A and B are shown apart, each in its own frame.
Chain A
Amino acid sequence: MIGVIQFPGSCDERDALDAVKRVAEGRLVWHEETDLSDLDGVIVPGGFSYGDYLRAGAIARFSPAMEVVSRFAANGGAVLGICNGFQVLCEAGLLPGALLPNQGLRFICRQVGLVAEDFKGPFGSGIEPGDLLSIPVKHMSGRYFAPDDELDRMGTNGQIAFRYATGDNPNGSVRDIAGVVNEAGNVLGLMPHPEHAVDPLTGSDDGLALFRALVGAPQATAA
C-alpha cells in the first residue's frame, strides 16, 4: 500500500494516486493522520502546501503526518517527493539542499528532458544511467541549490538522481540538477512530475518507472 500525503493546498495528490494505482494499491493520507502502519511507501505530492507561505514547503514539514514520514524514512522506508514534495523533504532535512525561486521569476509549465544518473537506492531500478526521460515540470520555485562542497560529496556518493538534459534547465538549478536522493538512497525528490507522464495519451509514460520502483522498494515500517 502506497500512501500519498494530502496537505491543505496540495493539488497533485490525485494524479499521484492515479499513477500509483496503475501499478499497485494506494490511498490518500490526510496530513493530520499519524497511523501510517499500513503503508509500504510514501509519496509527498506537488502543489502549494499551506499556500507556500514563508518558503515553499517550510510549514508542511511540521505537519503530524510528516513527523511519521521522517521516522519511516529513517527506518529505510521509500519516500518519493515530487515538486512541492521535494521542497518539503528538503525543508524537513530528509534531503540535502534547497529550492529557490526560478532564475527567470516565472512559473514554468512544460515538458523537459531528464537524464538519469548512476544513483543509489531503490528508485534507480528500471532506469539505466544515461536514460533520457520526457517528463513535465510546473513550478515557481524549482532552482535547486546546495553548496559546492556538498554537491561534490553528493556526486561521489551517488546522490544526484536526475539532471535536466543539456540546454533544458528551466530554472537555473545548480549543475542542472533536477532530482536527488538522500545518503541511503531510500528518499528521492525531484521537481519534474512523473505522475503527469504515465500514459502515452498525454505524450509520455516515462514517469511510470519511478512508481514501479517505489512499489518494488524494500519494505520498512511506518512507526
Chain B
Amino acid sequence: MRAKVLIRPKEGILDPQGKAVERALPALGFEGVHDVRIGRLVELETDDPSKLDALCEKLLANPLIEEFEVELEQ
C-alpha cells in the first residue's frame, strides 16, 4: 500500500525557511501571504500500514520538534 507522510515543524518552533520564503514573496508581487511553514513529504510503499505511526515516531519525525500526518492511498 502506498502512503504519504507529511512532516512539519511543530507549532511554536521557529521555521526560518518559512520566514525567508514569506519575506521573499512581496518582492515578487505576492502580497498578503502569511504563516509560511515548510515541512517534508515522504512517499513510501508498505506491506504493513499498521506500523506507520511507530515508524514515523521512531525515525521519520522527531516528535519533540515535528508533527506528522499519515495519508494512505487505496
- Where the two chains meet, the residues of A that have a C-beta atom closer than 8 Å to any C-beta of B are 54-55, 58-59, 62, 91, 97-98, 100-105, 143, 145-147, 172
Contacts and interface: CB of A to CB of B under 8 A. Distances in A.
B62 to A, nearest CB: 6
Contacts of B14: 100, 103, 143, 172
B39 interface: no
A105 B59 contact: no
Overall SS of chain A's interface: loop
Given A98-B64, A103-B16, A145-B64, 20 more contacts: A54-B59, A54-B60, A55-B62, A58-B59, A91-B62, A97-B64, A98-B62, A100-B13, A100-B14, A101-B17, A102-B16, A103-B14, A104-B16, A105-B16, A105-B17, A105-B20, A143-B14, A146-B64, A147-B64, A172-B16
A144 to B, nearest CB: 11
B41 interface: no
Interface string B8-23: 0000011011001000
20 contacts: A54-B60, A58-B59, A59-B59, A91-B62, A97-B64, A98-B62, A98-B65, A100-B13, A100-B14, A100-B65, A101-B16, A101-B17, A103-B14, A103-B16, A104-B16, A105-B16, A105-B17, A145-B13, A145-B64, A145-B65
Nearest to B64: A98
Q: Which 7 A-B pairs have the closest CB atoms?
A: A98-B65, A98-B64, A105-B16, A103-B16, A98-B62, A55-B62, A145-B65
Interface in B32-74: 59-60, 62, 64-65
Contacts of A54: 59-60
A189 to B, nearest CB: 15
A112 B64 CA distance: 27
Contacts of B65: 98, 100, 145
A145 B16 CA distance: 14
Contacts of B17: 101, 105
A54 B58 CA distance: 12
Contacts of B13: 100, 145
A59 B13 CA distance: 22
A103 B17 CA distance: 9
Contact of A58 (B16, B20, B62): B62
Contacts of B64: 97-98, 145-147
